[in-house]
Amino acid sequence: MNSSAQMKAVTIPEFGGAEVLRVAGRPVPEPGPGQVAVDVAYAGANFAEILYRRGVVDVPLPFVPGIEVAGRIRAVGEGVEHLVVGQPVAALTIVDSGGYAEVAVTSADLVAPLDGLGLSMEVAAAVPSNSTTAFLVLDRVARIEPGQSVLVLAAAGGVGSQLGQAARLLGAGRVVGAVGSAAKIDTARSFGYDEVILRDRLADAGEFDIVVDMVGGPARRAGLDRLAPMGRLVVMGNASGAEDVGVPANELWFTNKTVSGFNLAAFSAAFPDETGRALRRAVAAAAAGELRVQVETLPLERAAEAHRRIESGTTTGKLVLAVAAP
């Protein structure tokens, strides 16, 4: 760390509600070997950062949240040769966090160059977490095959808005989204789903080869019930805050079903090369117009408002924080 230079950041000084977030001065981080520092223009706002703020994830305080950014390379660490100072990039900062700040450091493997792509920084900041997750969940975890059917249990949110589109790009047949309220149906439809249904109507939805659950609680149990033989349920969140749902192993044995988990932070730490490839694939798809990314921007100083809106379950698409927007 460069202790003499200071930057603006949103910090978590104590665990609690959105009101604990504070704008504060922090030392400017320097990249280590294999890392880069990014001058942040925009940072994505995600449910993961709310989990940090609530203390669900044990992090040292004060903590700077922020799992994805877009900006320009500020400095490169030893051994980094494929990225240069001043280069526009999108990056995952999910392993160590720190994106809600004027400067963030991350592994060079978790960076996607934006040169010549025509993708705005604002949209680029919304791609690394949700769009990368969509490709990894469907391709790497669920192992989707051409023509297979997919059900997404929160189709209007940030990652849900990308999963339906990614499923199409990966050759899915029927792609259905579920939402918690009728007000979200039209928004979810705009993200390319064949059908959008209410989660309390899942019993009538038929069977699916793949179900992606970021909701938890009764929706998780309903999603498991909707699996066809040899179907795969991928668990990647618990936005409902419900108690954990137990799945008897004997049930999986008798019904030929599979339950898998996916956590982008843990996957990025264990497989940075693979995560980086998926990130660059997602950025290229967004730049080509193959992925529609709906973005709403708030100033960094309104990070608490972004958290409250995400927690309320009323957001659609993606909220992005303007840090040092060009």
pLDDT, tens digit (0-9, with 9 covering 90-100), for 109-159: 999 999 999 999 999 999 999 999 999 999 999 999 999 999 999 998 889
Mean pLDDT of the chain: 95
**What value does the mean pLDDT take over residues 252-263?**
96
> From CA 188, how far away is CA 9, in angstroms rounded?
33
Residue (of 166, 176, 213) closest to 197 by Cα position: 176
User: 90 near 68, Cβ under 8 Å?
Assistant: yes
**300 or 326: whose pLDDT is higher?**
300
Q: How many CB atoms lie within 10 A of CB 19?
A: 9
Residue (of 36, 37, 33) closest to 78 by Cα position: 33
Q: How confident is the model at residue 316 (pLDDT cuts 50, 70, 90)?
A: confident
Q: How confident is the model at residue 1 (pLDDT cuts 50, 70, 90)?
A: very low
CA angle 92, 98, 101 (to 5 degrees): 110
> From CA 108, how far away is CA 37, in angstroms rounded?
9
Whether the per-residue pLDDT at 240 is higher than 90: the answer is no
pLDDT tens digits, residue range 40-93? 999 999 999 999 999 998 899 999 999 999 999 999 999 999 999 999 999 999
Going by C-beta distance under 8 Å and a sequence separation of 6 or more, which residues neighbour residue 181?
198
Q: What is the pLDDT of residue 237?
A: 87
Q: What is the pLDDT of residue 158?
A: 85
User: 7 near 13, Cβ under 8 Å?
Assistant: no
Q: What is the pLDDT of residue 239?
A: 81
pLDDT tens digits, residue range 171-225? 999 999 999 999 999 999 999 899 999 999 999 999 999 999 999 999 999 999 9
* CA–centroid distance for 251 within its chain: 31
Whether the per-residue pLDDT at 2 is higher than 50: the answer is no
Model pTM?
0.93
